[in-house]
Structure formats: C-alpha cells, structure tokens
Amino acid sequence: MPQHHRLQPQAPWVEVVATQEDWDAADPSLLTTMLGQLLLIRTFEEYVLDLAKAGLVHGPAHSSIGQEGGAVGSILPLTSGDTVNGAHRGHHQFLAKALAHVEPKGIDPTKDFSPEVREVLLRTLAEICGLDRGFSHGRGGSMHLRWKEAGAIGTNAIVGGGVPIAAGSAWAHRQAGTGAVAVTYFGDGAANIGSTLETLNLAAAWRLPLCFFVENNRYAVSTAVEEATGEPRLSARGPGFGVASWKVDGMNVLAVHLAMREVLAHLRAGHGPAVIEADVYRYFHQNGPFPGSAFGYRTKEEEQEWRARDPIDQLSGHLVRRGLLSAPDVERAAARARDLMAGIGDVLLEPLPGGKPGQRQIRPGEWPDPGFAHVGVRGDLSEFAGVRMADRDTFTGELSEQRFIDAVAAVMARRMSTDESIVVLGEDVHRLNGGTNGATRGLKEAFPGRVLGTPISENAFTGLAGGIASDGRHLPVAELMYADFMWVAADQLFNQIGKARHMFGGDDAMPLVLRSKVAIGTGYGSQHSIDPAGIFATAPGWRIVAPTTPFDYVGLMNTALRCKDPVVVLEHVDLYASTGEGPVDDLDYCLPVGRAAVRRPGSRLTVLTYLAMTAYVLRAVEALDLDAEVIDLRWLDRASLDWDTIGASVRKTGNVLLAEQGPVGTSYGGWLADELQRRLFDWLDQPVQRVTGGEASPSISKVLERAAIAKEEEVAAKLAEMAAY
C-alpha cells in the first residue's frame, strides 16, 4: 500500500473576526469617519438608483448598496499614494478612495460636509450620468471611474479585466521604492477567471505589493457561488499560488479594517501579494433598483437575513453603545447626507418642461459637446516637438550592411542606456541569449532589473504592462512571442490598453510598445502564423509600425518609444536574418509618424505593401519589368497612414494593388481598399486590386502552407493581369 503524507500550503490562510474588545479599543475618530463615509456612499448610491428609475442614467447603474463596509474598511488605512482599481460595481471603492484623498484627517458626520467632499460627489454623479463635468467628461459612466490624483486608477466593465492592470501599478510602486501598494477589487465571478488567476501567479512569482480584494457577494448576476466553483471560500485561491490570504466578514467594517492593516504590514514589508476575501451582500440585482428576489434567484428571507447585518447599522450601534454618538446624531448625519445629494442633484437637473410634477431632466449645459465624441482616441503627437527626424534622404550618419535582428537588439540597448524608465518584459526575453530570436541580446546583463522574464501568461503580463504605462513612471516594452498570442491577451490589448486614453477622458497618455513577430511561411502552422495588422487597424487607439529594413527599424522603434500612444511593432521572421543598410553609430534618430517609403518609383501601377511582402513585390516588378511604383507603408494604423504619398501615387498611376501575405479574412487590405476607393475614386481607372493569402490559415505541411499564403508568384500574376487592363 502506498504511503500518504498530508501536504499543507506554505502560505498562511486565516480568518479575522472583530471582537467586542476591538470595537471598544477602536479610535473614536476612526469610527466616526467610517460612519461619515458609509452614509455618504449609501446615500449617493440610493440617489443614483432614483435617477436610474427615472431614466436619467443612460446605461447600467450597478449599485453597491450593502457592500460599502468592505470598501470603507479596506481603503481608510491606505494613503493617497496607494492605488486601487475595481470592477463594474465600483462606486463604493472609488468614492471611499476619493473621499479619503480629499479628507485625509477624516470626516466628522456631525458637521457639515466640506466643499471638497461635495465636489467629489458632484463629479462622480456627473460621470455616472455621462456629463461633461465628470472625471472622464462622461465617457466612462458608471463602470469606468478614474481619478488618478486620488490613487483611483480605474474601475472596469470587463470581469477580471482590471486585475492585471493593478499588478502593473504594484510593480511601478515597488520599482520606485516608495513603499506604496496597489489593491485590486473584484467579485466572486472574477475569482474564477483566467486573468485573475494568471495575475495571482505572476504577482506571487514577482512578490508584488498587490492586494487581491475579493468581494464575495455570493452571486455573479444570478449564478450562486456554490454553482460556479467547487471551493466557495474564494480566499482558498491564494494559498494555491503561495499567496498569504485573509477571510473576513465584509459587513463588519471594523473587521475589514483590522484585516487590511495586517495585509498592509505584509505588503509593505516586501513579503509579496495577499488575498482578502470579504463576505458581502449586494442588496439589489446586478443592475437597477430591484432586489434579486424579484428575479427569482434569491429568497426574501435570505435578503432579510443579510440586511439584518447591515454595515451602517452595526457601526451605528457600537457608536451609540460607546456614547460617541447618539441615535439622533446618526439620524441627523444621514439627513445631512441626503440634503447634500439633493443639492448636488439640483446642480445637474432641472424640471422637465411640460412634464409631470417632480419629473426632471439633465440640464442641457451639462452634456458634453457632441464634437468631443472622437477626441482623444489617440494623442496629438506633441511629444515629437523638437525631436530630430531623419529618413534615408536626410540621414547624415554612417551606414553599413547589417542584419535586421542586430538592429533590433542594438536600438533597444541604446534606448535603455539613455532612458532609465524603459523596462522590457515577456516570455524568455531574459534567456537564450536574447529570447527566441536574439532581439533582446545582452540587455539583461547590461540593465539588471529591467529585463523581466514572465510566466507564460499573456493576459497577465500584457495587462501588467498596461498598468505600468498608465502609471507613467516607466515605459514598458512587452514582447508577445508570436502575433497569434495577441488573441490570448485580446482583452488587455483591445478593451484595456487601446481604449484607455479615450475612455477615461482623452487626456492621459498610454506609452507602451508591443513587439511581436509575424511568422508566416516558417512552418509553425495555424496558431503561430497570423498577420495581425488587419485586426489592429480596426481597433481604436493603437498605432502600428511595420519595419522592413534595419534603417527603418531603428528609426521606427525610436519613434514608438517616444510616442505617448500604444504602438505595436510588427517584425516578420523572414526579415530577421535579412541584411540591409543600417546606422553604424547614430541610433538616435526618429522616423516621422505617418511617412511611407517609396521603394521604387513608377507611373503606371501603384503597389502598396509592407513587411516581408515588400521584397516579394520588388522582385516581381523587376522580373516583369513593369513601370510600377512600390510603396512600403511602414505605418499601418488609420491615423498614421501616409495619404500624401499614397494619393500622389494613385493620381499619377490610376491603378492600385494591395499586396500582403496573410489570409483574406483578416486582411489588412480589406479596410484599406474601401478607404482608397472612397478617398480616391475619381482617379482610379479600375477597382483596387488585392493579393492576399487564402481563406485558410497556414498549415504545417510545407506544400499546404505555401498554397495558403501569398508571395512573389501571386504578386506577379496579379500585376500581369492589371498591366493588361
């Protein structure tokens, strides 16, 4: 018979319970501040639900009524330098952080609330209503609340989507040596999602000062936690990753406070991340002013049992018992909070003309200007003022024949030597003499602590890079080993990083560089061979560069690293071993944003192409001896295309071919052909023509792979057809 040895997790897992002695020993000002915050947040949420019932909140109103104790208890021990983010149900956490920021000495509920408190509530309500004076000028609404000055770095509508971003904030705190920590709030639904679990592992491996605060409100919309997992004690996730974990009654604000103080001591001492599970209860349904029992997934008896444990009632009872406040004092404080919210509502609302008594509308002057709708999708490039720009026709430095991959490594080494904020991260970037292709060769040894090999966790480390970028103290360069892996990290790339600047008001920079390789034609098959340009071009916020030569790579990477928008740098594997002209000593020039390169002049046909397809096009044109102008686009995103160069060529030739290697379904040329025909229709002698791969993604078989992609032969056939037109 085999022997069995019972194993125990290395990380501690404890439950914290506040005793009567703890309540008696608690500082009176702490308890009264807790009451002040709880009353303000509860009253605010009730007011939001009233507006939602009246149709004055466009979109969801995810109330946190019943859950305020977890937010107030955990945030009061934080400083303004500590950062928090949350999920779609995050009004209470946002308000707790913002109120603590403007009133660091506490809130006395027996006195009138300060103008700063009023301003926080006014701007938060305005944001939820979609109004211009909101923190993000109404773009974020109920689910996307951010005030970075207060350390509130953004609530998030994607379940678990904000967790990796908080890890980036925690990394930036640790790297800066400030002693600050990050707290990421999420619910029971997110406790089981991949981005959360990936980030738990990464944070543990890197010992980040990050608290994973799980609000176990027992229901993800209507699915009970016992239905969703075999271990409904969600703090059990922590020890499985080696993360110290605490469990606490979230309806007891003092118990949460005591647990968070222990967690903060753990985090600030450098012992790595921590988990807190707070058992809370949302009194209402997922969205709106109705209880869950109205939808049949909860009983009224269950709801009454939880309401009997209301955090405000518990705290008020102890305040009255200790003689710190009287019951009338508490009632008057609640009335002051209601009066405050009524006055704030009067600022934003007015009687509905011709409506029934009590009907109101948003004051017209509070709405944002419709012209603001698309402002701030990306920056204005003012960061390039005074920067030295150069292209092949203006570059005065020495050039030599060199390998493309050597230029990749050289320019990154140069930039890291001149800019200490740059940090490189990705899978194996710290090993194998520069990763799988040598792109980061020598960087780890030259720049200790700034080249970070990650676990295989694309969602987590990409989101972490986004959090670092949003923090602003460091510039992340993340590598996704193959472009196909972008789809593993799609939420972070497209929902988070790409949308962040615009979603939060258009003002905050998102300086991030994403490197990834296109491996079409290398025999790696369907899941390692995508060209992502076509999909990135239709996603807002990203800039896309596609270097073809060593010279271009240096200039384009320098530009990408200076840009305040997220930039994806596509590197084709076929180009790594290729050679071409590159700078010998001068690695500091930038190639201008939005400038294409005419690789071959011509007057009869225009061929637009990029990456490795450029060489195939040039060979096909030379073989056919055609009078064709070949334009290497270099910049592929909608905002950065060189329409001056493209337009001049099309007006001259009247014929356009878009040539790329990838499958037709995700083709970059699909949207570009439409744009060309709408912009330049009057100058076209025939429809825009295209060369792409087939419908299928490339296979492993050398024969089948070649049949699925486009190269020189396909370009030559299409050019011959067009020339005969």
Q: Which run of H or of E encompasses 668? A: helix 668-679
For residue 153, the SS3 value is strand
Query: CB under 8 Å to 522, separation ≥6 — which residues?
Result: 528, 529, 573, 574
Query: CB under 8 Å to 719, separation ≥6 — which residues?
Result: 605, 607, 620, 621, 624, 626, 628, 657
**Whole-angstrom Cα distance, residue 484 to residue 26?**
54
Examine the residue annotation and report whether 528 is marked as an active-site residue of this protein: yes
**Whole-angstrom Cα distance, residue 690 to residue 656?**
8
Nearest to 635 by CA among 600, 575, 595, 606: 595
Work out the burial of residue 584: count CB atoms within 10 Å of its CB; fewer than 13 is exposed, 13-18 middle, 19 or more buried.
Answer: exposed
- By DSSP bridging, strand 210-216 and strand 152-155 are unpaired
Tokens 């001149």, residue located: 418
Nearest to 422 by CA among 556, 513, 493, 489: 513
**Whole-angstrom Cα distance, residue 254 to residue 179?**
24
Query: CB under 8 Å to 98, separation ≥6 — which residues?
Result: 120, 124, 147, 150, 152
**Whole-angstrom Cα distance, residue 402 to residue 400?**
6
Q: What are the Cα distances from residue 180, in Å, to 174, 210, 381, 391, 597?
A: 7, 10, 32, 44, 47
Measured over the CA atoms of residue 287, residue 289, residue 294 and residue 298, the dihedral's sign is: positive
Please check whether residue 360 is in contact with residue 351, taking contact to mean a CB–CB distance below 8 angstroms: yes
- Given 3-state DSSP classes, what are the helix, strand and coil percentages for the chain, each rounded to the nearest 5? 45, 15, 40
Q: What are the Cα distances from residue 33, in Å, to 29, 117, 338, 414?
A: 6, 13, 17, 52
CA angle 277, 280, 282 (to 5 degrees): 140
Work out the burial of residue 30: count CB atoms within 10 Å of its CB; fewer than 13 is exposed, 13-18 middle, 19 or more buried.
Answer: middle
Query: CB under 8 Å to 580, separation ≥6 — which residues?
Result: 401, 402, 404, 549, 550, 551
Please check whether residue 33 is in contact with residue 243, taking contact to mean a CB–CB distance below 8 angstroms: no
Please check whether residue 671 is in contact with residue 688, taking contact to mean a CB–CB distance below 8 angstroms: no
Measured over the CA atoms of residue 193, residue 195, residue 196 and residue 197, the dihedral's sign is: positive
The residue annotated as part of the active site, out of 91, 137, 528, 572, is: 528
Please check whether residue 389 is in contact with residue 536, taking contact to mean a CB–CB distance below 8 angstroms: no
- How many Cβ atoms from other residues are within 10 Å of residue 6's Cβ? 4
Q: Per DSSP, which regions of 20-86 are E strands?
A: 83-86
Q: Per DSSP, which regions of 307-398 are E strands?
A: 349-351, 360-362
Give the chain's count of helices (H) and strands (E): 26, 24
b/e sequence 147-168, b meaning 16+ C-beta within 10 Å? beebbbbbbbbbbbbbbbbbbb
Nearest to 72 by CA among 108, 35, 101: 35
Catalytic residues, by residue number, are 528
